[in-house]
Chain A
Amino acid sequence: MSETLPVTGTMHLIARHAASAVWLARYIERIENLARLLDVTKTFSDDDGNWLTILRINGDAVGFHKRYPDVSQANVARFYLLDADNSSSVQAAIAAAKENARTLRALISTEMWLQINVFHGRIRTLSGGDLTPDRLSAVCAMLKDGAQAHVGISEGTFYRDQCWHFTMIGRYLERADQTTRLLDTRFNALAPRADANDPDIDAGKWHALLRAAGGYHAYRREHPHGYRPAEVAGFLLANTAFPRAVALNLAQIDWHLTQLRLRYHLRGGARALERVDNLCGILTHEGVADLVARGLSPFLDWMQREIGALHGDVIDGLCGG
């Protein structure tokens, strides 16, 4: 892609609509991530402890325990798939996605709107019967399909002016955030510091972690010999080819912010660009290996805050705050 595609028009983008574009993409992406997590946990879990992990990834443990007696597959699935009062459920996510899509309806393609509308209707009709072990995978597949259909339809039909760039920024922000969270909760359980280089750790759990990120096969191609914590962390953080790797997502955010500056002369993205450049500088394979040796957890906490701050930079600088 050229660094300097010519500007196609002078159409302004309402700042509030830019914010909606970021949020629309984030919510749809969140649905896909949640579906991946539930599916992998269901498939690869051997005890209910893994269901607790999902709650931790999303920072939902406290909210969950207020309303549900115990952490079981049935309760966690209900909490995330049916519970509209849970703000991190797919019900809440699709409702928020639709509301943002409604706001953007004059800007997104009619195909995008139609798909979100139908997807919304499908998710709304989920019921207790969909939570049984035999149905859960099919429901997760439906959710992934819907989110991926959104991405595909956007790719093929969404006019690539400013609004599209903001959507892409939202999508990559969410992916970077989710991968960081996933790694944070799983990594310490799998790789206590003393065993950091022990090849005998539970391969099944590394497998599940990479599956949840949708990166198992790609990881195998890069690293055919077992699992090393530094390599897994490096793959999820510093890889620049894996779609859910933090570094790749940051690089793509960088590109979109640069396009907005060059093609549309948006000056408000300077802080965001600066932050992205800084983060990209840190997320090298060598850097990650160092971090693993010193303990990844504080770094991941900091990374999550940085991604949150980056979202804030985009919204404050470009979307009217």
Chain B
Amino acid sequence: MAQTAGTQTQTQTQSSDAPGLLQGYDPDAFFCEMLRNGQPPHPGLELLRSRLAQFPIDTLRRRAVDAERDLLERGITFTVYSDATAIDRILPFDLIPRVITAAEWQQIETGVIQRVRALNLFLHDIYHGQKILADGVVPRALVLGNAGFCATMVGFDVPFGTYVHVCGTDIVRDETGRFMVLEDNARTPSGVAYVVENRHMTQRVLSDVMAGLKVRGVDEYGLHLHRALCEIAPPGVSDPQVVLLSPGIFNSAYFEHVFLAREMGVPLVEGRDLVVENHRVFMHTTAGLAPVHSIYRRLNDDFLDPDVFRPDSALGVRGVIEAWRRGNVAIANAVGTGVADDKAVYAYMPRIIRYYLAEDAILPNVDTRICAEADALAYTLEHLAELVVKPVAESGGYGILIGPHATRAQLAEFRARLIADPTNYISQPTLKLSVSPTLTDSGVAPRHVDLRPFAVTGRDTWVLPGGLTRVALRQGTLVVNSSQGGGSKDTWVLA
């Protein structure tokens, strides 16, 4: 506490002189993650703001250039292939961190844990008794007719009822600073490697700004993931062999697969390295076949097993699903979780949480309309120019209409598409996403951010303190996906 008082005094004496990073910075009507207008003062944030206020922008630019080169040289990249040429691209990294206070984190952490519990209970239910459908809480057709619903999973029990072992929950804030869930990612969410690498980058190039602030560490992710994968391994195996199953070096998220395999100290395998014999999974090693007990797969359901899914898949492992069903191997995430993170099912999440847990959602949804419902469609068509309309079965920010940014022609074209296939769309109000000061060509400016915390679940759920803060680098852009020109920031959860 004495230390806190000292830093506050320092703030007052320093912030009065020297034009720094935040000079002329104006978040306008948006909630700013750094200035937090209207919130009571927070000593950690005060200290950080005072340091940024002192920080010369040329120094920041120079360090940003260093950081970018460092990312490229270290190969902290995603790889784009064109004409058989591999191009390594970095996810642009903005040095100015995004801060989450302890109180805010408390809400996010409990909210995410609650949501993961509800997702797992929902998945168990729809693949067993289907009570939630019988009770009419979620429309039967929406679940059973969903492309993500997997008939193979019906009646099959997974350890601890955990289907979603790794969950990435996309969270945004509105202009009042209220947290809302935008999307659940319950299949094979990516991005956690950047959380850790961004922190290491901050520690390399911005340690002076970070010094003395109590920022929670992010280095334990691999340990928790490995523990969860051991917990779900077949019973009776004393030292389970865990592997990470990747589509291979051509996958754009390959760096993350490398990162996670290394953090867990487990082999990074491809489908061709695994073989199923007598419904048991083995890997081809230099000593011959060695048993595999737990698979963290970063391969979509479709490609996992040509016996069950796409017969043309060369990336998967023939027979692995049957080995799993017989309890001889664990697979994380479970197959068939896509039905739970579907954008249409998302709309029902507050009701799903209430149904299974008898609790209100700690993290509310964004107000969402399901265009399959007649009045919702009518409303959406009427307010098309104000709304964000999303196809339900897509990911990566493609095929989205952002009404206020669309031209008359784009609106007309989208209207026709929506009328032709309304069940494929949901609509949401255009959000005034929160902003965070970000280095741009024209100085430090507000840019929209979101947050993807990562939850790991075996027996219990653990949430990595932090998460991937994605930032829309272009002015005014609301889409923050890395596949759409977004960047990222280090996320500091204050202790």
Contact = CB atoms under 8 A, between A and B. Distances in A.
Nearest to B285: A12
Residue among B75, B86, B286 with the highest chain A CB neighbour number at 10 A: B286
Interface in B217-244: 241
Contacts of B267: 12-14, 17, 106
B286 A106 contact: no
Contact of A102 (B254, B273, B287): B254
Given A113-B75, A114-B75, A99 B249 contact: yes
A12 B86 CA distance: 30
Residue among A99, A103, A105 with the highest chain B CB neighbour number at 10 A: A105
Interface string B33-76: 00000000000000000000000000000000000000011110
Interface string A282-321: 0000000000000000000000000000000000001110
B287 A264 contact: yes
A106 B258 contact: yes
Nearest to A84: B85
Interface string A78-119: 000000000000000000000100110110001001100110
B249 A12 contact: no
Nearest to A116: B75
A132 to B, nearest CB: 27
Contact of A103 (B75, B86, B249, B265): B249
A277 B287 CA distance: 22
Contact of B286 (A18, A102, A113, A118): A18
Nearest to A317: B286
Contacts of A268: 286-288
A14 B284 contact: yes
B297 to A, nearest CB: 16
B269 A12 contact: no
B272 interface: yes
B337 to A, nearest CB: 25
Interface string B283-306: 111111010000000000000000
B287 A265 contact: yes
Given A102-B254, A106-B268, A12 B283 contact: yes
Interface in A265-279: 265-268
A16 interface: yes
Contacts of A262: none
Nearest to A320: B284
Given A99-B249, A102-B249, A110-B74, A16 B284 contact: yes
B383 interface: no
Contacts of B272: 16
Interface in B183-219: none
Contacts of B265: 11
B261 interface: yes
B262 interface: yes
Nearest to A162: B286
A95 B279 CA distance: 39
B261 A117 contact: no
Interface string A8-26: 0001111111100000000
A208 interface: no
A13 B285 contact: yes
Contacts of B255: 105
Residue among A14, A16, A99 with the highest chain B CB neighbour number at 10 A: A14
A40 interface: no
B286 A13 contact: yes
A268 B286 CA distance: 8
Contacts of A103: 249
A103 B248 CA distance: 8
Contacts of A265: 287
Nearest to B246: A106
Contacts of A320: 284
Contact of B74 (A99, A114, A319): A114
A320 B288 CA distance: 8
Contacts of A105: 75, 255, 258, 262, 268
A15 B273 contact: yes
A260 interface: yes
A260 B287 CA distance: 10
Residue among A17, A113, A268 with the highest chain B CB neighbour number at 10 A: A17
Contact of A260 (B73, B249, B283, B286): B286
A12 B290 contact: yes
Interface string A184-202: 0000000000000000000
A106 B284 contact: no
Contacts of B254: 102
Interface string A229-269: 00000000000000000000000000000001000111110
A266 B286 contact: yes
B283 A266 contact: no
Contacts of B75: 102, 105, 113-114, 117
Nearest to B292: A12
Report the 4 A-B pairs with minimum CB-CB distance, sorted nearest first. A106-B261, A12-B285, A105-B258, A106-B268
19 contacts: A12-B267, A12-B283, A12-B286, A13-B286, A14-B284, A16-B270, A16-B272, A18-B286, A102-B249, A102-B254, A105-B262, A106-B258, A106-B261, A121-B72, A162-B286, A260-B286, A265-B287, A268-B286, A319-B286
Given A14-B284, A16-B270, A114-B74, 9 more contacts: A12-B267, A13-B267, A14-B269, A105-B262, A106-B262, A106-B268, A260-B286, A267-B287, A267-B288
Interface of A: 11-18, 99, 102-103, 105-106, 110, 113-114, 117-118, 121, 162, 166, 260, 264-268, 318-320
